[in-house]
Structure formats: structure tokens, C-alpha cells
Structure 1
């Protein structure tokens, strides 16, 4: 409020005060006939009836979303399944690594179980338990000849090698069956042609020689090699079974006069007697399958041998330990040393 310059009454008259309702900003918003005020508005005056009810029009169907540039999986994720935030290659590599770890863990668990089982067996035998009785060959109790070996693939062989050892056992059985059929085929050939008597005699010799020798010379070393991870038995098996594979191939070829009903001998017999030739062809086919399977199994066992960490030096150590641990060898060496010492003292 401005003060009086003459020093009079500092409070002016009311007429001198500014009237706020005379402000142009307020005057221009005063009610006029163009605007209805709240005092003159009557809601029941000139009231029109509401329009009739009309059902709303159906909403248009939503358009399908545009196809994404990448293919999305239509499978709904479970609440506990994590969402896919990585690329396909990253997820594939992670899944492969996880599967490999799970596989290695399962192998370790199997090896641990196998070691526990063997340890329990050794403890049982060490505490005076009954020793395992031989069960092969499976002969009846009335037979005067008793079993010579103990064989239980499911108990003595580690689980990862059981299939290989079982296959080799069936291979030995098939080779024995082939030798029996070869003997019968050569016998039939000798019945229709007496000039083939040498082949018949050799077929009998091969049956009596190869059946036990193949089991003792290459099957048992292979069995003991996988049972105790023996490098020496692996080397024995590789050497003898390689020779056996050579004989398998010769049996499949069937050189006349060698006692093998192979392809050559069977084709020669076709012109003499077709029935005997058919039997010999079946034997030749069996010999061929055995030869192929023998080569495949030799390669497979060699690959398993290389993964076990065996070596020629380890085989030498096992051979030396086995020789010096043999009571007969120790007794013979002691007798030889005693004799040499006695001769040295008696010398003039």
C-alpha cells in the first residue's frame, strides 16, 4: 500500500482501494447468456428419453502377429525349467559337456562298485571263506573229469569290458562249432570220394587240437588280461590270436587236402556231389564270418589295450614277478645255486 506523500492518514478510503472484481481478467469470465450457470440449470427440464438398447458390435478378430525371423519353440516351458537366453551352439556345447560329465561320473561309480566287490571277495577268502570252485567246462557231477577253470564274466570282468569278453567267448564257441561241421563235411566228402582221406584225417586233427588249445592259448589269456589288467596276458593274446586269425582265413579259403571245407574245396565238390557241396559251402560261409569277426575283435581289443596304459615294460615286470613268485621256479633256482656252490667248494 502506498503511503501518503503529505504524511497524512496512511489508510486511504475504501473508494480508493482497487476492486478485484473490476479486474479485466475476471470481467471477461462473468456468466453470460452463452454460458449456463449452476443456479439456473434444471436437470429435469427438456429431458429426452434414453435411446433404445442396442447390443455392441462384435470386436474384430485380432490379426496374427508377424512371423519372427527366428524359429521359436512351440513347447511351453515348465515353471522350473530355465528360459533359453543363449545361442543354439552355446546350449549344444553345454549339453554335450554335461552329458560327458554324467557319463564319466557313471563310469567312476561302476569302477568304485567293482573295486568294492573285489575287495569284499578278497577279504572273504582271506578270512577263511570257501574258495570258488571251478565251473568250466560245465560237466555233470557223475563225470570222472572235473571242471578245470573258474569263469564268471559278470563277476570277474569289469562292466565296461564284459561285452567284449562275452563276444570273444561266443567267437570261440562258433569256431568250435565250425570245426565240428567241418569234420562232418569232410566225412561226407570222404564217403563219396575215397581219395580225400587225407583231408578227413586232418579235419579230425584240427578239431581235437584247436578246440582245447584255442581256449587255453588265446581265450584264457584275454580273460585274465581284462580281469586283472595284465600287460603280459595282453601280449600273449595278441601274438597267439594273430596266428589264430591266419588259420581262420585259411579255413575260409579251403585249400584242398588241408582238411578245411572252405570256398575252394566246396566249389571243387560241386561237380561231384551237390548235396555235399552245399554242406561244405555252409561251412565255408561260417569260416568266413569267423575270420571277419576275429579281425574286428583283434583291432577292438588292441584299441582297448592302448587305453588301459599297458606297455611292454610292464609286461616284462609282470613276467619276471610271475616267474620268481612260482614255487617250482624258486625251488629249481635254489637247487641250482646250491649245486653250483657245492661244486665251487669241492674244486681243488
Structure 2
């Protein structure tokens, strides 16, 4: 087993990384999309951090402390939870072609999209800036509202990008023959958590991809000069 390397914590912190992450172990056909999902998680985490600053400006501008306090909870809770609950499943799904992990990702990521949309809307008192909170606060403090506008735009971008990513991954999974029954079969047999089965599945998926590429290469028609 490889040694855990994520998150990359400084040496002076008495904690160790909890996960092993290396995009080189992801098959070539999924590596780019997997990296994009990781960047989406980084963007969402950064948005929560910027939202914390926006809610601080909201509080100092006269908006009360409720949103500021809730923004701390969003940042502390959803940064690690989003990594564990939807990025890790899609990482393992890409790695081992696991239907169970695909399904886990779909269910959780749908909730993530809904949450991101709610955060972009910005209901006052929920700890997020959002469009409602930002627009209504312009009459109180223009400076604070401008700062609040930054996480609002970022939440909107996360919502759009997350929906696009969900659509692309779902279309790929359905096009590859994936289904709920395959996920249920993996759950019943325990294949989704068996490292030996996962490794064999990964090798089979990579072999199938390489075979398809070779078949496409050899199936290219050639012509002799005498046939022209």
C-alpha cells in the first residue's frame, strides 16, 4: 500500500495525511476530467474561504453576526466533507471503473449542486453572501456589498461548472453501459471495497482502452497505387 500523501500537511503539525492521491494511477482517458473535478473542489473550497471574508465585511457593514458565524461553519464543515463525499468517490470511480462509486458520486454531487445554487441565491441568515444578500445590502453599505459580490459570483460559477461536470460524467457513464444494477451487484459482492478486485478491474479497463485504440489504428483503410 502506498503511503498517504493528502492533504500535504506541514511537518510541524502532529497529524498525518488521510488519503493517497496520485493522478498517474488514473487511466489516461479519465485523468484530465479527474483533475478538473479536483480543481472544481479547490474552487469550491476557495469560494467558501472568500465567502467567510464577504460575511465578515457584511457584519462590519451592519449586517449582524449570524451570517459571519454560519460562514465559519460552512468553511470548516464543507471543505473536507466535499472532498470526502464527492471527490473521493469520483476519483475511485475513474481509477477502478466502479459503478458503486459512480452512483455514490452522482447522489452526493446532485446535493452539492443544489447547495451551490442555494449559496449563489444567498438567503440572508444562512451564512452565505449570494445575490439576495448582496443586492439588498447595497443600500446599507456599498463597500461591503462589493466585497460580498466576489463570493456571489464565485458561487454562481461553481454552480454552473458543477452542473456541466455532472452532465458530462453522467453521459459518459450511461454511454459505457453503467447502471444501477451494476452498482447494486458491486455492493452485494463487496467488490467496491476489495483492493484486489479493484486492481484487476483497473487493469481490465486500461487494457480495453488500449485495445480499442489499437483496433482503431489498424482499421484505417489503406490503398495501393494500382487501385487508384
TM-score after normalising by structure 1: 0.54
8 Å contact kept, 2:98–2:192: no
Aligned partner of 1:165 in structure 2 is 34
Superposition RMSD in Å: 1.6
* Structure with the largest fraction of helix: 2
Q: Does 1:237 align with 2:84?
A: no
1:324–1:151 Cα change, 3 Å: closer
For 1:239 and 1:165, locate their aligned partners in 2 and report how far apart those are by CA, in whole Å: 18
Q: Give the CA deviation at 1:277.
A: 0.6
Q: CA 1:148–1:281 in structure 2 vs 1: closer, same or farther (change >3 Å)?
A: same
Does 2:5 correspond to 1:140?
Answer: no
Structure with larger RCO (C-alpha < 8 A, sep 6+): 2
Bigger radius of gyration: 1
With over 3 angstroms needed to count, the CA separation of the structure-2 counterparts of 1:159 and 1:324, relative to structure 1, is: closer
Q: Which runs of 4+ in 1 moved over 6 A?
A: 323-326
Match of 1:216 among 65, 84, 87: 84
> What SS does the corresponding residue of 1:257 show, helix, strand or coil?
coil
Decide whether the 8 Å contact of 2:57 with 2:148 is kept in 1.
no
- Which residue of the other structure, out of 149, 152, 168, is the alignment partner of 2:19? 149
**Deviation digits for residues 121-155 of structure 1, max 9, x if unmatched?**
xxxxxxxxxx31111001123321111111111x2
CA deviation digits over 1:1-26, x for unaligned, max 9? xxxxxxxxxxxxxxxxxxxxxxxxxx
Mapped to 2, the partners of 1:276 and 1:263 lie a distance apart of: 13
Match of 1:185 in 2: 54
Kindly state the Cα deviation for residue 322 of structure 1 after the two structures are TM-superposed. Answer: 2.1
Give structure 2 stretches of 5+ with no counterpart.
195-228
Question: Aligned in 2, Cα 1:275/1:247: closer, same or farther, shift over 3 Å?
Answer: same
- Structure 2 SS opposite 1:139: coil
CA distance in 2, matches of 1:141, 1:283: 32
Find the counterpart in structure 2 of residue 298 from structure 1: 166
Q: Secondary structure at the match of 2:13?
A: coil
Q: 1:280 deviation in Å?
A: 0.7
Q: Cα offset for 1:257?
A: 1.2
Corresponding residue of 2:197: none
**Shift, 1:222, TM fit:** 0.5
After TM superposition, the structure 1 stretch with the greater mean CA deviation from structure 2, 212-221 or 270-279, is 270-279
1:217 positional shift: 0.4
How many aligned positions are there?
194
Matches within 5 A, 1:34-73: none
TM-superposed deviation, 1:314: 1.4
Q: Distance in 2 between matches of 1:169 and 1:325?
A: 22
How far is 1:325 from its partner? 7.5
Alignment of 1:38-117 (within 5 A): none
Q: Which moved more, 1:317-326 or 1:241-250?
A: 317-326
Instruction: Note the alpha carbon deviations across 1:178-236, whole angstroms, 9 max, x for none.
Output: 0001111111111221x522111111111111111100000000000110000001111
Is the contact between residue 196 and residue 257 of structure 1 (CA under 8 Å) also seen in structure 2?
Answer: no
